[in-house]
Amino acid sequence: MRIPRTLKIGGKKIRVIVNRSDNIFDAQAVGTWDGNRYVIELDNFSEAPIERVEECFLHEIIEAINCMHEMKLAHWKINTMSEILFQIIKDNKLDFTSR
């Protein structure tokens, strides 16, 4: 999965920042959604599998939707949704690009 620098959610432009840490203990969180600045920030540890960052990206997109649309989903539900959707996309090699 290619993680873009920007994406649109509900017509709003979201900036995506990927930081690179050399040490897993340097990071405060794997990813964050900042609803005030419309920013998704991810931490891509140098030795982490790419799937970790990809699933986190999907998780933060769901966090943004939850926040922007006041859905009030519990965090465990967001975790479940992101993990299952990620598994479906990866295991079925889904590609949503135009042909």
Domain boundaries, the chain: 6-91
Q: Of 41 and 45, which is predicted with more confidence?
A: 41
Q: For residue 7, is it left (φ>0), alpha (ψ between -120 and 50) or beta? A: beta
Separation CA 46–CA 29 (nearest Å): 15
Which of 2-11, 16-25, 27-36 is predicted with the least confidence, judged by mean pLDDT? 16-25
Split at pLDDT 50, 70, 90, the class of 30 is confident
User: What kind and span of H or E run contains 36?
Assistant: none
**Model pLDDT, residue 44:** 77
What pTM was estimated for this model as a whole?
Answer: 0.86
**Beta pairing class for 12-21 and 39-45:** parallel
Count each helix (H run) and each strand (E run) in the chain, helices first.
2, 4
Closest Cα partner for 56 from 47, 43, 74? 43
25 pLDDT tier (thresholds 50, 70, 90): low
Residue 52 predicted with pLDDT over 70:
yes
